[in-house]
Structures are given as structure tokens and as C-alpha cells.
């Protein structure tokens, strides 16, 4: 599973009594036991969604960097070819953000 997620507790037959918040690597963040905590952590659902979105954007941008590195391998002695490849790859960054040259604004979905 990718991204942060909630899972109902299933130990000791207490699934209706608590939930667990997990990280993308399936490690536990916290066990939610008290009713007031359940409401608090449910209020964190938008935060969890933002964390997942940020992770998705980071993976996308890292892939672009990796593609540029691959372009370098492909066009070792062809500087003009390398520049053409990089120009094509780098434009994809506008799929997740836009800028006026000073400020980056992230797009709503990814």
C-alpha cells in the first residue's frame, strides 16, 4: 500500500474500539483508542491526503531527474541531443506545478 492510511485494529477482537495510523512503509504511527482521539485523527484525514499527495509529487519529480540522468547516458557525445532530451523531459514538471519565476504553486491533483 502506498501513502499514509488508517486501518481498523484487529488484535484482541477490538476492531470496533481502535484504529491505527500507518506510514507508507507499513510502520505504525499511533494507535487510536479513545473516542475523542478517533475524532482528532479523523480530522487529520486531510493532512494524510496532503502527505500522500506530496509523496506522489516527490516521486514524480525524482523520476524526472532520473530520466535526465538516463538522457545523459544516452547522449554522451551529443551535447545538442542531450539538450533536446532534457528540454523535453523538464517541461513535464508543469504537470504538477506552475510558476511565475518566483513562486511555485502546486496544482490541485496528481
Residue boundaries of the structural domains of the chain: 5-43, 61-106
Residue 10, all three cell numbers: 484487529
Q: What is the mean pLDDT of residues 10-33?
A: 61
Structure confidence by residue, pLDDT tens digits, 49-105: 777 788 889 999 999 999 999 999 999 889 999 999 999 999 999 999 999 999 998
Q: What is the mean pLDDT of residues 32-36?
A: 57
Give the residue ranges of DSSP H helices in the chain: 35-43, 45-74, 79-90
Amino acid at each position: 500500500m502506498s501513502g499514509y492510511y488508517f486501518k481498523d485494529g484487529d488484535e484482541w477482537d477490538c476492531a470496533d474500539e481502535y484504529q491505527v495510523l500507518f506510514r507508507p512503509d507499513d510502520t505504525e504511527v499511533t494507535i487510536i483508542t479513545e473516542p475523542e482521539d478517533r475524532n482528532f485523527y479523523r480530522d487529520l484525514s486531510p493532512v494524510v491526503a496532503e502527505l500522500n499527495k506530496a509523496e506522489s509529487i516527490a516521486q514524480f519529480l525524482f523520476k524526472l531527474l532520473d530520466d535526465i540522468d538516463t538522457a545523459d547516458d544516452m547522449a554522451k557525445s551529443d551535447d545538442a541531443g542531450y539538450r533536446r532530451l532534457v528540454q523535453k523531459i523538464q517541461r513535464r514538471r508543469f504537470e504538477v506545478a506552475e510558476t511565475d519565476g518566483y513562486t511555485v504553486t502546486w496544482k490541485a491533483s496528481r
